[in-house]
Amino acid sequence: MTARARRSTSAKAPVAGPALLDWRDSSHWSSRPAPCRYCGFDTQLRDSKWKPAHKTCAEEALAQQAADAADAYRKDTL
């Protein structure tokens, strides 16, 4: 078993209070490992569209999408 490397933090400030995903359901598990769509390391977890993704990677991506959407909204309302 190989250790997973830590992902580097981005230059942007982290979003406060990211939502935690609930992947306890067996539908998020696959018997075959595949590369995570975000970090590239193998995972047996699958997202709601059955794409390979670590739970933490998916949560980070959702937080980033929310931050980007909030920034875009702020720019549009000025």
pTM above 0.85?
no
pLDDT of residue 22: 87
For the chain, what is the radius of gyration of the CA atoms? Answer: 15
Using CA of residue 34, residue 35, residue 37, residue 38, what is the dihedral sign?
Answer: positive
pLDDT of residue 50: 93
> What's the pLDDT tens digit per position in 3-61?
566 555 444 555 455 567 888 889 999 999 999 999 999 999 999 899 999 999 999 99
At 74, give phi and psi (nearest 5°): -60, -40
Q: Quickly state the pLDDT bin for 73 (edges 50, 70, 90).
A: confident
**CA separation for the pair 6, 21 (Å, rounded):** 20
Which residue would you say has higher pLDDT here, 57 or 74? 57
